[in-house]
Structure 1
Amino acid sequence: MAGSTHPWWKEASIYQVYPASFQDSNGDGIGDLPGVLSRIDYIKDTGADAIWICPMYNSPQKDMGYDISDYENVYPPYGTVEDMDAIIVACHERGMKLLLDLVINHTSDEHAWFKESRSSKDSPKRDWYIWRPARHDAQGNRRPPNNWSSHFGGSAWEWDEGSQEYYLHLFAREQPDLNWENEETRKAIYETSMHFWLRKGVDGFRVDTVNLYSKVPGLPDAPFTDPTSEYQFPEGQVSNGPRIHEFLGEMNAIFAQYGATMTMGELGPTSNVRKYVSAAAKQLDMAIQFDLVNVGFGPDVANKYNIGPEDALTLPAVASAVASIQGILADSDGWVTTYLENHDQPRSVSRWGSDLTDESRVRSAKLLAMFQATLSGTILIYQGQEIGVTNAPKEWSMEEYKDVASIDFYEGVKAKTGGDPKALARAFAGLQCLARDHSRIPMSWDASPNAGFTNGEKPWMRVHDNYALVNVENQLSDENSVRSFWKKMLRFRKEHADLLVHGIYKAVQDKDLNVLIYEKHSARRKAIVALNFSGAEQPVQGPPSIEGAEKGGYLSTYGDLVEGNLRAYEGRVWIGSS
């Protein structure tokens, strides 16, 4: 990035850390901040320029830290504020940036603000959250204020017996939504969640659920689209509301006070993204869009795990999503991210590659590394992705799944169907494919007990059954490992940043069920990328001959220089003049 005229975050590789599952330093079975600190050199060596740490704030952990009870303190099992200070310093000493999660659509119901808000209808902080009186049906039964469902299923409203009203929670009932219409509330949010950490030297934020802050006035019922539920998902009533860009403008003005900070907002489909990430609009620097990672999910957020054999993932659908995201760079002044995994997603090898054998795992993990690293935008890498970690084994039972979204979905299906075995089997199959739990399995560092994640007796979540084979130690000195290829690919990406970070995407072959081919264009050069997503050899027209590539401008996931048919899970990239 030295000498680049672009902001630092455009060419950065960002490594995401999920604290509970990264490294336990004290044997209590829970990952912690001293554990993160002990592995910073490993992250740097992987090729990362910045670290994004998922919520480490004080929390009852009903949703793994996304239910915050105190923004200015750290969850005690993770460590202390002083530990965070040490991580910030360590990152900066190594020329790296440090990013935090900004979770401000809601708090925990144990936050002091909410405790005061629910204490009385006359509380000075009553209007800091969204309260409404009950409705009543024809028989006089108490009903929620509207028909909205939460992201985790069931009603988005919870009755509070003490103050005799409902409060809104778009997520778990322990996560009441803040009322962004209240200016006093917004100022308090900005001070405690943003200024506090920016003053400490944090370099930016991943902004959680960034398009949900502004709800439609009056909170009307959502359209009736799911006949299996009395509660309906309120996409049009809570997303991209009338004041959202005003609120983001306020936030951006705060970030601007601290120099070269960056913000990446968790957003929905690209159709709503351009205004959020426009450089001229000065709202967010980039978006974390769902178009690609949500390919193959169920019909809406509340039913995203409701999939079956008829919902098979296809390469043309993947290609269409990629084109949609990459198109933002071609027709706007906005910026995007490129990612295949995070804490809310299953493992990419199990979704888009193959985890049937170790050979297919390694080959397809390298293919996906080339795929991701040749797409424009800021690259995000999730812990364990760099060693080719897979989903949980199929042999694991529902008892091993810890995520509140997984449990609520499964229990919701059980309640709806009276425990129908076929319905529950379909529900569990969906979780085996798509659950957030897969990304939260503790990191496999070595082949010692508990995968080197903890020296305690039991980790908070079971380590992967294949940890003796798939772990960091096994790959550190192996030039043919997944991690070694990731390092090579990240270097290659930086060497050809004009194409691979900033280049304009053009699909060449995007309707084939096995092979995806695309070009990347800059002013004077182009790249051609050919990717075989199948486990069998596939014919391919191009890329051009190796002799036509720039010196050092040809790369295969197999490591050798050949032409002709693409081998199983092989990717090739060729760089030459346009």
Structure 2
Amino acid sequence: MQDLGVEAIWLTPIQPSSTYHKYDVMDYYGIDPEYGTMDDFRRLLDGIHRRGMKLYMDLVVNHTSILHPWFEQARSGANNPYRNFYWWMTPAMIDALGVNKREETADAHVIFPWHKNPGDPEKYYAMFWEGMPDLNYESEALREEIYKIVRHWLTGVGVDGFRLDAARHIYPPWLREKNIGFWEEFGQVVKAAKPDAYTVGEVWAKASEVAPYFKGLKANFHFDLSFAIQRIIQTGKDAGLVEKLLADYDDFGRHNIDFIDATMLTNHDQNRIGSVAGGNVEKMKLAAAMLLTLPGQPYLYYGEEIGMLGVKPDHHIREPFLWTDRPDDPGRTRWMDPLYSRPTSVRDAATQLTDEDSLLNHYRKLIALRKAQPALSQIQRPNLVSALAKFNKVVAYIRTHPTEPVLVVHNIGGRTKKIILGETEQAFKKVLFQTTDSTRIKGNQLMLPAYGSIVLGK
């Protein structure tokens, strides 16, 4: 990962759990035996830090497992002190409040979120799955327990920050206006424990809804951008990407001028970008070039850099990584037999490393370029200006900088594109990066191959 240029690793949940995905946490202080022990984790953390990298862990505070001791206590009776750690109502109360059903969202498909507890007159609220009951943050005792967990991992163990799962659902729909206040409080707790700790929220929603979460969280994932790049890869249509991004940045900045835009192509809940691109490596390269030359702090979902494939259901977008083409590869996990990412359909990492034109080396070059060019490496207060807007099938922009601005041009169509550079664009003459050597610049004309990208400096 360090050779790729990665500076931080986000681990999806590692705590004890009853499922393979481990978002149903049973013990916030433990390590699932499937992954090893706390000593193993500390060795991993030490190795990451020695390499100058950071580690962010997934912290699931929207819900627990139904097998968590808190819920096992809570379900034992209405008078148990842990009862208020979760949401409980009688059917009559649920009907009176009008919350028997919820609107399906992109990240949660359960419509009837209230579930029976055998022998109990009340039902409990669990919006993702009956095995993951939602926590009730009206309980001060619960808040303090969660904050103890935060302090433990930041200062007791030494992780560098958290990815916060289901951040928009911390409060149920009838109290959703309290979400932002909670995350502001949470952010203060994190800052007091470890001032430089990083937080990134999963707010799976339109950018306008994401924006207020920057009040408490340093970063939030930009789902609108993720889907916009996917649409471009699928359709070859721009739909005003740069203009939409500029509007989003204005919205984010009104809540926190130093917001960090967490950008991505896809994640562990979405069809893989390789499959979105129909297995077309040139389209995958285009997607990578867009992600890694736009503003923000980019995230790579493991396997994107080698073109792994996968479509839902979820376990098929989480298949084992292909390190080599050896059937007995000791580095390959064996938790499932892959359906999409097999040696016959995806080139393994070891093979790609030796191929200068591979997708993996394309990622390595782009990441190195991003680090080397100050205009590209700027994360906060995004430096973005639209360029060449009149050309169809072209996405172009300038990443501004006082002395070293760059011009980025992408051909999002399936044919070579002749682009006439304007007076502003003609000032950029130095080729810093190009997808293929067949790109040509002569005078004010740029010939850019299908799905090709070029980065020019002055």
* Fold equivalence (TM over 0.5): yes
Tell me how far 1:100 sits from its aligned partner.
0.3
Which amino acid letter does the alignment assign opposite residue 406 of structure 2? A
Aligned position for 2:448 = 566
Tell me how far 1:364 sits from its aligned partner.
2.1
Task: List gaps (5 residues or longer) in structure 2.
Answer: none
Residue 440 of structure 1 is aligned with which of 291, 296, 318?
Answer: 318
The answer to whether the 8 Å contact 1:315/1:511 transfers is no
**After superposition, where does 1:326-405 map in structure 2 within 5 Å?**
326-327=249-250, 332-351=257-276, 353-355=277-279, 360-361=280-281, 363-391=282-310
TM-score, normalising length: structure 1: 0.69
Partner-residue secondary structure (3-state), 2:405: strand
Partner-residue secondary structure (3-state), 1:287: strand
Aligned position for 1:263 = 199
Tell me how far 1:145 sits from its aligned partner.
5.0
With over 3 angstroms needed to count, the CA separation of the structure-2 counterparts of 1:330 and 1:152, relative to structure 1, is closer
Tell me how far 1:182 sits from its aligned partner.
0.7
TM-superposition CA deviations, 1:304-333 (whole Å, max 9, x none) = xxxxxxx97843165565444444577633
What is the alpha-carbon distance in structure 2 between the residues aligned to residue 296 and residue 547 of structure 1?
27
Tell me how far 1:547 sits from its aligned partner.
8.8
What is the alpha-carbon distance in structure 2 between the residues aligned to residue 384 and residue 295 of structure 1?
21
2:11 matched to 1:57? Answer: no
Tell me how far 1:383 sits from its aligned partner.
0.8
Aligned position for 1:527 = 406
Tell me how far 1:544 sits from its aligned partner.
7.7
**After superposition, where does 1:63-212 map in structure 2 within 5 Å?**
64-135=21-92, 146-149=100-103, 151-212=108-169
Residue 505 of structure 1 is aligned with which of 384, 399, 421?
Answer: 384
Aligned position for 1:462 = 338
Residue 242 of structure 1 is aligned with which of 164, 170, 178?
Answer: 178
**After superposition, where does 1:400-419 map in structure 2 within 5 Å?**
406=313
Identity of aligned residues (%): 27
Aligned position for 2:226 = 293
TM-score, normalising length: structure 2: 0.86
With over 3 angstroms needed to count, the CA separation of the structure-2 counterparts of 1:453 and 1:313, relative to structure 1, is farther
The answer to whether the 8 Å contact 2:225/2:263 transfers is no
With over 3 angstroms needed to count, the CA separation of the structure-2 counterparts of 1:538 and 1:200, relative to structure 1, is same
Partner-residue secondary structure (3-state), 2:199: strand
Which amino acid letter does the alignment assign opposite residue 569 of structure 1? Y
What is the alpha-carbon distance in structure 2 between the residues aligned to residue 248 and residue 65 of structure 1?
26
What is the alpha-carbon distance in structure 2 between the residues aligned to residue 463 and residue 350 of structure 1?
12
What is the alpha-carbon distance in structure 2 between the residues aligned to residue 368 and residue 459 of structure 1?
29
Aligned position for 1:276 = 213
2:419 matched to 1:537? Answer: no
What is the alpha-carbon distance in structure 2 between the residues aligned to residue 335 and residue 465 of structure 1?
32
What is the alpha-carbon distance in structure 1 between the residues aligned to residue 229 and residue 2 of structure 2?
33
The answer to whether the 8 Å contact 1:315/1:512 transfers is no
Task: List gaps (5 residues or longer) in structure 1.
Answer: 1-42, 220-236, 299-310, 393-400, 407-435
Which amino acid letter does the alignment assign opposite residue 556 of structure 1? Q
Larger deviation, residues 328-337 vs 151-160: 328-337
Tell me how far 1:128 sits from its aligned partner.
0.5
Comparing both chains, which one has the higher relative contact order based on Cα–Cα distances under 8 Å and sequence gaps of 6 or more?
A: 1
What is the alpha-carbon distance in structure 2 between the residues aligned to residue 499 and residue 438 of structure 1?
33
2:415 matched to 1:496? Answer: no
Q: RMSD over aligned Cα, in angstroms?
A: 3.2
2:394 matched to 1:518? Answer: no
Residue 254 of structure 1 is aligned with which of 177, 180, 190?
Answer: 190
The answer to whether the 8 Å contact 1:71/1:193 transfers is no
The answer to whether the 8 Å contact 1:109/1:176 transfers is yes
The answer to whether the 8 Å contact 2:201/2:221 transfers is yes
What is the alpha-carbon distance in structure 2 between the residues aligned to residue 97 and residue 371 of structure 1?
24
Q: How many equivalent pairs are there?
A: 443
What is the alpha-carbon distance in structure 1 between the residues aligned to residue 12 and residue 428 of structure 2?
41
TM-superposition CA deviations, 1:415-451 (whole Å, max 9, x none) = xxxxxxxxxxxxxxxxxxxxx4453121111112277
The answer to whether the 8 Å contact 1:293/1:345 transfers is no
Tell me how far 1:510 sits from its aligned partner.
5.7
Deviating above 6 A after TM superposition, structure 1's stretches of 4 or more consecutive aligned residues are 141-144, 543-547
What is the alpha-carbon distance in structure 2 between the residues aligned to residue 119 and residue 72 of structure 1?
23
Aligned position for 2:457 = 575
What is the alpha-carbon distance in structure 2 between the residues aligned to residue 192 and residue 93 of structure 1?
25
